[in-house]
Amino acid sequence: MDKELDEFDVDIPRCMHCGACVGSCPVNAIYLNEVVLEFNDDCTMCMRCIKVCPVGAIKIAGEK
């Protein structure tokens, strides 16, 4: 089972499920689970997914 990483906050209502973040991840650490994005332990915190999101739906936890 994939554990959700605590390092990211995903603005679920804002996410339009385009899949860009999933495709951008070099280690396949992102999954689109129905409408909820999940991250797994393979994440290296490279921030590619954050940069590629067209609506800025992924944030580092604690940042505004």
**Chain residues that interact with ligand SF4, rule: CB under 6 A:** 10, 15-21, 24-25, 27, 29-30, 37, 39, 43-49, 52-53, 55, 57-58
Query: Which residue, 6, 2, 41, is CA-closest to 25?
Result: 41
Closest distance to ligand SF4 from the beta carbon of 51 (Å): 9
Closer to ligand SF4 by CB, 1 or 24: give it: 24
Closer to ligand SF4 by CB, 47 or 61: give it: 47
Q: Is-contact 7 60, C-beta < 8 A? A: yes
Q: Is-contact 32 22, C-beta < 8 A? A: yes
